[in-house]
C-alpha cells in the first residue's frame, strides 16, 4: 500500500485525502492547529499538526514524511492574510527537508496565478509573466520544485469551485465590478480530484499540467446568469473595456491521460 502525505488538508487537501483513502492509499495529512486534528482522524487520515514558516517548519515533519511515497503540497501562498509570508521560501524549505535518498515523488499544487492578467490565451508551454507578488512567488516556488527533482509534477489549478465554494457568493449584489468581458478560468473540485488521482495512479511524473475547465465564459454574462438561476441579487458590471484577457488552456490532459471534465460549466447549483 502506498503512503501519500498531504501538506495542507484544507478545502481541497481533505477532499483529496478522502478520495485517496477510498482508493486504498494510506494518507498522512496536516493542519496547523490541534483543534482540526480530530476531523482528519475521523475520516481515517493519520493527522499531523505542521506549520511551514518562512525559515522553519513547526511540528514533526520528519515522521510525516518518513514512510511517504508521494508528498502533495496543498497549502496556498497565504500572502493576502500575511503580507510577510514568503511562499517560495516555504516551498524551498519543504523540498530541503525531503529525504534525498528516497524515491518520494512530489506533486506540487500551483495556480494559474503564475500568469499575468493580460497574457491572453496561455497553455502549458507559455512562459508565465506574473504581474503580482503572489504570481512571482508561485513561479519561484515552481522553479524550486523543478530544480529539486525532475520527477516532480506541477499542477496549476484554476479558480476552485465546489463543496459550498463559488465566486458568485461574493459577487452577487456587488456594484462597479470590472472586467465583464474577461474569460472565466474555473474548475470544479470533483474534476480536480479526478485529475489528481489520475496523475498519481498513472505515475505521470516530471510534468506540468493545467487543471482548468475547458469552458471559458465571459465573467459578466456568467455571473449574471448564475445569479438569475439561483435567485441571488444581480451583480452590476462596469461597461468599459478591460485588458484582463487571461485564458488558461489545458491542452495536455486529454492527450496524455484521456481526461474529461465532468462539471465544466462550474455552476453554483453543482457546488
Ligand atoms: N482557492 C483557489 O481558488 C485556488 C486556486 C488555484 C490554486 N489553489 C491551490 O490549491 C491548494 C489548496 O487550496 P485550498 O483552497 O484547499 O486551501 P485552504 O482551504 O486554505 O487549505 C489550506 C490548508 O493548508 C494549511 N496551511 C495553510 N498555510 C500553511 C502553512 N504555512 N504551513 C502548513 N500548512 C498550511 C491549512 O491549515 P489549517 O486547516 O489549519 O488552516 C489548510 O489545511 C493550494 O496549494 C492553493 O495554492 C487554490
pLDDT of residue 100: 63
Q: Which atom of ligand 1 is nearest to the CA of 113?
A: 6
pLDDT of res. 148:
87
Q: Which CATH number characterizes residue 131's domain?
A: 3.40.50.720
Residue ranges of the chain whose pLDDT lies below 70: 99-102
Domain span including residue 97: 76-162+185-214+246-260
Contact predicate 261/151, CB 8 Å: no
Quote the ligand 1 centre to 231 CA distance (angstroms). 30
Asked if residue 8 belongs to a domain, the reply is no
- In this prediction, residue 54 carries a pLDDT of 97
> Please, which residues have CB within 8 angstroms of residue 149's CB and are 6 or more apart in sequence?
95, 98, 105, 106
**Among 7, 10, 115, which residue has the most ligand 1 atoms within 8 Å of its CB, making it the best to mutate?**
10
Please tell me the distance between residue 66's alpha carbon and the centre of ligand 1 in angstroms: 22
> 191 lies in a domain?
yes
Strand residues in 32-78 grouped as ranges (E): 46-49, 51-52, 57-58, 70-73
Does residue 206 fall inside a structural domain? Answer: yes
CB atoms inside a 10 Å sphere around CB 140: 18
Q: Identify whether 208 is part of a domain.
A: yes
Please indicate, yes or no, if residue 35 is contained in any of the structural domains: no
Structural domain tally of the chain? 1
Other C-beta atoms within 10 Å of 119: how many? 18
Closest residue by Cα to atom 31, ligand 1, is 52
Asked, for residue 239, whether it belongs to a domain, the answer is: no
Residue 107 lies in a domain: yes
Q: Distance between CA 218 and CA 164 in Å, rounded?
A: 22
Structural contact between residues 142 and 109, judged by C-beta atoms closer than 8 angstroms? no
Dihedral sign computed on CA atoms, order 211, 216, 219, 225: negative
User: Has residue 168 been placed in a domain?
Assistant: no
Amino acid at each position: 500500500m502506498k503512503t501519500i502525505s498531504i501538506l495542507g488538508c484544507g478545502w481541497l487537501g481533505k477532499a483529496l485525502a478522502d478520495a485517496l483513502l477510498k482508493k486504498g492509499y494510506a494518507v498522512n495529512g496536516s493542519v496547523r492547529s490541534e483543534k482540526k486534528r480530530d476531523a482528519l482522524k475521523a475520516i481515517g487520515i493519520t493527522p499531523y499538526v505542521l506549520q511551514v514558516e518562512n525559515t522553519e517548519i513547526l511540528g514533526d515533519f520528519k515522521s510525516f514524511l518518513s514512510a511517504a511515497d508521494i508528498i502533495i503540497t496543498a497549502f496556498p501562498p497565504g500572502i493576502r492574510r500575511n503580507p510577510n509570508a514568503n511562499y517560495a521560501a516555504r516551498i524551498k524549505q519543504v523540498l530541503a527537508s525531503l529525504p534525498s535518498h528516497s524515491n518520494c515523488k512530489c506533486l506540487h499544487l500551483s495556480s494559474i496565478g503564475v500568469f499575468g492578467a493580460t497574457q491572453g490565451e496561455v497553455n502549458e508551454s507559455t512562459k508565465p509573466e506574473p504581474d503580482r507578488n503572489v504570481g512571482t512567488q508561485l513561479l519561484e516556488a515552481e522553479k524550486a520544485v523543478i530544480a529539486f527533482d525532475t520527477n516532480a509534477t506541477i499542477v496549476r489549478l484554476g479558480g476552485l469551485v465546489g463543496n459550498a465554494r463559488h465566486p458568485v457568493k461574493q459577487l452577487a449584489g456587488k456594484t462597479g465590478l470590472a472586467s465583464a468581458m474577461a474569460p472565466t478560468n474555473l474548475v470544479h473540485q470533483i474534476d480536480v480530484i479526478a485529475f489528481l488521482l489520475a496523475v498519481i495512479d498513472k505515475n505521470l511524473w516530471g510534468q506540468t499540467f493545467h487543471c482548468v475547465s475547458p469552458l471559458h465564459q465571459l465573467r459578466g454574462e456568467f455571473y449574471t446568469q448564475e445569479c438569475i438561476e439561483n435567485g441571488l441579487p444581480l451583480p452590476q458590471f462596469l461597461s468599459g473595456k478591460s485588458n484582463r484577457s487571461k485564458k488558461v488552456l489545458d491542452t495536455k490532459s486529454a492527450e496524455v491521460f484521456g481526461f474529461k471534465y465532468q462539471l465544466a460549466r462550474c455552476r453554483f447549483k453543482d457546488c
